Structure 1
């Protein structure tokens, strides 16, 4: 059990991709800190930190549900302190929480702009900064520490910017954290990588975007399985990468992907953004 006894701090883990990553790690017996905002059920967006904790425990892990706004420094500091008090440290940070608005400039209110930059860029940077002392301790103890940002490969093509400049800048801000922190933390033995899907992923949040056919998507489990491969790799050598889910799985001999399809047998999937 490669992640048994390890502690993962996962942002936005109350549902979707974050929860799938949490449950995959929990199957090894990992400790999962569910750092998210949702404490009360919403029929349009199911999942709370408490329901996620139940699913993590059912999967075989220990769960600590913490209400946390990753835009707020005090909130993140308190969550990290509570995680350390409960589990004794943090070995892995998964920066999964993200805000999206696929809108052109005239249709992007500054409040939405600030939300995307506050969650995607500031939140990723803040969580990494706050968890860093614990990740350093993890490295010194030989516990293979990782930071995983759920963000895309950097591609400076007009195509990826022109339809939604604000969103692209915000997601690329997360990826720039990967690029910079990988170099900064390499001497410390802390890995920093990004992971991104080839296709659209069927999540509750995606279903709120008009016109998306969920039947032409893959399940979050393709990302959780890919994330597991990254988080169990050697932190001293596997760092600074921008992984694409199906490419990474293929590198590990996993080429039969039909089980990840929402509808088995699907050949034409909705492509995700930012993959050239």
Structure 2
């Protein structure tokens, strides 16, 4: 078992480039041993000839191998373990290898995702199936295998999922993509409810209140962030860059979510900017602008719908098919 087991372990899936890379680096700086995971790797023999280093974080030359090396070069700890989120066997191997090496998983970040934007008429069935395979199915499979380790975490077990708040405008022009991403948001809501129920049951048995427990949180950018995804779907001219932020805002928000009490973030679908403003009192977001002095345009609504109903606490007849 690795000597890094004295540190909390954060597994970042989708950490080879862009936002995921930044999140992995900043978690390592915050004291986590980071498992850097994605499909892309670099042969060790090629690292010595890779120039410049580190490579462009939004290019294919940035892999889990280079990100893990960046982190260790900074004096922090990281391990690169590849995963294909379309393969249940690969996901199971990732969790088993992480736990066998480090004996714990305290934080899980699901940043990986497939993207295809377009109306239904121009979205091939093959693309639709891939979107669902990587996005909601990959997340569900990963959680299925990781939950036992997360529940055993002495820190309570935290999960952060890159998925959006649920509102109608999000579906426009990208229905197939939205179906998968909103399914991930529903998972955040549903698993969050399960956590509350489990924590309350355990606390009642001990005669305690729900003070410490697991939490799952969705995070989404209020303003577009520089990444491989934004470069793929947009031009790279200087004018467009004025509407982008650096990935650091996302990692700062994630770190703040991990520090927050479970009841504050559990089952919530949050925006990076709004959470930093409300939780950390951040007022000036200028330092996150990709172009110095620019004021990037907000892409998310100022006010989001409340999905709760007045009968929210009425569970009706709750059943568990596994016990029937």
Mark the runs of 5 or more structure 2 residues left unpaired by the alignment.
1-5, 43-49, 200-212, 305-324
2:246 maps to 219
Aligned CA distance change for structure 1 residues 94 and 275 (closer, same or farther; 3 Å): farther
Counting only pairs closer than 5 Å after superposition, residues 45-124 of structure 1 correspond to structure 2 as 45-124=60-139
**Distance in 2 separating the partners of 1:70 and 1:201:** 23
Larger Rg belongs to: 2
What is the CA distance between 1:165 and its match in structure 2?
0.7
| Structure 1 residues 207-243: Cα deviation after superposition (integer angstroms, max 9, x where no partner) | 1214462332001100000000001222355311111
Is the 8 Å Cα contact of residues 144 and 234 (structure 1) preserved in structure 2? Answer: no
What is the CA distance between 1:118 and its match in structure 2?
0.8
Identify which of 213, 222, 225 aligns with 1:198. Answer: 222
Is the 8 Å Cα contact of residues 242 and 295 (structure 2) preserved in structure 1? Answer: no
Mark the runs of 5 or more structure 1 residues left unpaired by the alignment.
none
What is the CA distance between 1:270 and its match in structure 2?
6.0
Aligned CA distance change for structure 1 residues 58 and 254 (closer, same or farther; 3 Å): farther
2:292 maps to 264
Counting only pairs closer than 5 Å after superposition, residues 98-247 of structure 1 correspond to structure 2 as 98-138=113-153, 141=154, 143-155=155-167, 157=168, 159-186=169-196, 187-188=198-199, 189-211=213-235, 213-247=240-274
| Structure 1 residues 167-201: Cα deviation after superposition (integer angstroms, max 9, x where no partner) | 11111011111001111123242101111111111
TM-score, length-scaled by structure 1: 0.90
Is the 8 Å Cα contact of residues 151 and 194 (structure 1) preserved in structure 2? Answer: yes
What is the CA distance between 1:29 and its match in structure 2?
2.1
**Distance in 2 separating the partners of 1:52 and 1:275:** 36
Give the secondary-structure state (helix, strand or coil) at the position aligned to 1:216: coil
Aligned CA distance change for structure 1 residues 233 and 89 (closer, same or farther; 3 Å): same
What is the CA distance between 1:67 and its match in structure 2?
1.3
| Structure 1 residues 24-72: Cα deviation after superposition (integer angstroms, max 9, x where no partner) | 1101221111120011499853311100101222344321111101121
Aligned CA distance change for structure 1 residues 85 and 201 (closer, same or farther; 3 Å): same
Give the secondary-structure state (helix, strand or coil) at the position aligned to 1:111: helix
Aligned CA distance change for structure 1 residues 240 and 168 (closer, same or farther; 3 Å): same
> 44-53 vs 172-181, which deviates more?
44-53
Q: Give the length in aligned residue pairs.
A: 268
Give the secondary-structure state (helix, strand or coil) at the position aligned to 1:67: coil
Is the 8 Å Cα contact of residues 202 and 220 (structure 1) preserved in structure 2? Answer: yes
What is the CA distance between 1:275 and its match in structure 2?
7.7
